[in-house]
Structure 1
Amino acid sequence: MNNKPFIIGIAGGSGSGKTFFLNCFLHHFKNDEVTLVSQDDYYIPVGEMSQEENKLYNFDLPSTIDDQQFLLDIKKLIKGEVIYKKEYNFNNPLAITKILEIHPAPIIIVEGLFILHFKEIAALLDHRIFVEAEESVALARRIKRDGMERGYPEDDVTYKWHNHVVPAYKEYLLPYRETCDQLITNNFDTPDDIIKITEDISSDLKIKYLKHKAE
């Protein structure tokens, strides 16, 4: 397929600063040059998950992701089709559910914890970026995010961190670290540093890929 989009996989554990990195990266492109598809929007409904004895759900397992629909939607984007997807709101009853309208583009970014673990999805990636941070930094970010955005008590967040997040990271993501094309350490969310890194990557892509597309 001559017009196949260039697909970038961005993987990183919870609290790695992946979202900050992504936002900086996307800032360097026009809307019609790049599109983003996120694993977070492919969780199966909570009602289909099993609770643990403490009534908490474990979202940090590959089985909680509808990976076949995730794969199908990526393939639709590759074929130039628009996809429509409900935004996943976890357990936040105050959140307004949005219908995401994701358009194809010359560059597709696929991001998520398990994108390297899902073999069929990993096989579609042309370039792999691994974002990481020190564990103490990542935990602090997780506590802040889950408290503010999802309404989780800090005790629940800490429990999930030690029993769900870290084991999943070690089993389903860390083994693929060395297979990635670039490793990004983001301990500080320092805008200048991350912007410089993403600017270098995006400039290289524009020269090698978008320019080639236009010719």
Structure 2
Amino acid sequence: MGNQDSNNSKPFIMGIAGGSGSGKTFFLNRFLDHFTSNEVCLVSQDDYYFRVGHTMTKEENKLYNFDVPETIDREHFYSDITKLINRETIYKKEYTFNNPAAVPKVLEIKPAPIMIVEGLFIFHFKEIANLLDLKIFIEADEDVALARRLKRDLEERGYSNDDVMYKWENHVVPAYKEFLLPYKNVCEQVIVNNTHIADDIIQVTEQISKELREKVL
């Protein structure tokens, strides 16, 4: 049923954004379950942070605001998306969240008929927003989102409770309100993700992937 010539037409580009703790990663992973690597490719804004953290002390890292657009290499991010649209494979060092012990992998991202672009600022970066065929906004209540953020940062990234709360109040929430929330109304789909029930999210990803299979593949 697909209406695209897979060799030379523009891929169908989905933009997925949500605040910290919205459950965006879980949504993405469940969505990707429906496709093979030949059918979909993923470009993550997180892999385009300017590298600053490896020279920082712990205190500097705590105070540094990663939640502003200037921390992202916007030109490189846009350039790589454009290359994928033009059917070029891109190679990108993954971002290791300022963990000096982690060895970043080199990601090979191959073009595919469906492209997912995800990140906090993808609707704010106009040149990227203009490329998106479908915008998905994932949100959760603030208390739910904070609980998820605390769990992740304490367990996976070794931050203290104070550090997480400092970043949440001074960086995360202000950035969400300034750079993402204003675009909620222009998104074709808004998904509220307050539950821990996987079935709800799986159902939504099934519906979207079914529509995409009919439209694109």
Quickly say closer, same or farther: Cα 1:22–1:54, change in 2 above 3 A: closer
The CA deviation at 1:55 is 5.5
SS of equivalent residue, structure 2 residue 208: helix
1:205 and 2:200 matched: no
Aligned letter for 2:9? N
1:35 and 2:33 matched: no
> Which residue of the partner structure matches residue 119 of structure 2?
112
* Cα distance in 2 between the residues matched to 1:192 and 1:167: 31
- Pairing partner for 1:157 from 156, 164, 169: 164
Tell me the TM-score normalized by structure 1: 0.92
The CA deviation at 1:140 is 0.8
* Cα distance in 2 between the residues matched to 1:53 and 1:146: 17
Quickly say closer, same or farther: Cα 1:202–1:55, change in 2 above 3 A: closer
Quickly say closer, same or farther: Cα 1:17–1:125, change in 2 above 3 A: same
Aligned letter for 1:41? D
The CA deviation at 1:37 is 0.4
1:67 and 2:66 matched: no
1:7 and 2:27 matched: no
* Cα distance in 2 between the residues matched to 1:157 and 1:196: 32
SS of equivalent residue, structure 2 residue 63: coil
Query: Residues 49 and 57 of structure 1 are in contact (CA less than 8 Å); yes or no, is this contact kept in structure 2?
Result: no
Aligned letter for 1:93? P
Q: Matched residues, percent identical?
A: 69
Structure 2 matches for 1:49-88, cutoff 5 A? 56-88=63-95
Structure 2 matches for 1:173-192, cutoff 5 A? 173-192=180-199
* Cα distance in 2 between the residues matched to 1:45 and 1:53: 14
Where do 4+ consecutive residues of structure 1 move more than 6 Å?
Answer: 48-54
Aligned letter for 2:122? I
SS of equivalent residue, structure 1 residue 177: helix
Aligned letter for 2:49? Y
SS of equivalent residue, structure 2 residue 156: helix
Query: Residues 33 and 107 of structure 1 are in contact (CA less than 8 Å); yes or no, is this contact kept in structure 2?
Result: yes
SS of equivalent residue, structure 2 residue 136: strand
* Cα distance in 2 between the residues matched to 1:27 and 1:111: 16
Structure 2 matches for 1:89-104, cutoff 5 A? 89-104=96-111
Aligned letter for 2:10? K
The CA deviation at 1:153 is 1.0
CA-based RMSD: 2.0
Aligned letter for 1:7? I
* Cα distance in 2 between the residues matched to 1:28 and 1:62: 31
The CA deviation at 1:53 is 7.6
> Which residue of the partner structure matches residue 151 of structure 2?
144
Count of paired positions: 210
* Cα distance in 2 between the residues matched to 1:54 and 1:107: 36
* Cα distance in 1 between the residues matched to 2:53 and 2:151: 26
Query: Residues 49 and 64 of structure 1 are in contact (CA less than 8 Å); yes or no, is this contact kept in structure 2?
Result: no
